[in-house]
């Protein structure tokens, strides 16, 4: 469990963008902040943050803070024109709020 938590913490500290979004991929494009989709950004990370609150209660405030910042990004920029699907559509971004 320690390795999993360390990996999650690295993702948050090293890769989370200032907007709260997560990069769509690592490498050359990891600083681009253009995609807010379940499969390529913050919406898919919100359930992970919620799970971390349950699994790592000693750091619950930290994970809640990240989840809120991600949710704000989804709320502000997550209305998509790609369709209704879970992966690339509005359903995935809506699911992040359930």
Quickly tell me which residue has 């359903």 as its tokens: 91
Query: Which pair of structure tokens corresponds to residue 24?
Result: 């769509």
Task: Answer yes or no: is 50 a known binding residue.
Answer: no
Task: Answer yes or no: is 40 a known binding residue.
Answer: no
Rounded CA-CA distance 95/86 in Å is 8
Rounded CA-CA distance 95/14 in Å is 26
Task: Answer yes or no: is 39 a known binding residue.
Answer: yes
Which segments are annotated as binding site? 39, 87-88
Which segments are annotated as binding site for Zn(2+)? 39, 87-88
């Amino acid at each position: 469990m320690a390795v999993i938590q360390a990996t999650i913490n690295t993702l948050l500290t090293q890769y989370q963008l200032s907007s709260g979004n997560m990069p769509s991929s690592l490498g050359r494009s990891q600083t681009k902040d253009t995609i807010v989709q379940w499969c390529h950004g913050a919406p898919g990370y919100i359930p992970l943050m919620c799970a971390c609150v349950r699994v790592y209660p000693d750091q619950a405030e930290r994970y809640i803070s990240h989840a809120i910042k991600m949710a704000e990004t989804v709320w502000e920029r997550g209305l998509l024109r790609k369709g209704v699907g879970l992966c690339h559509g509005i359903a995935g971004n809506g699911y992040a709020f359930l």
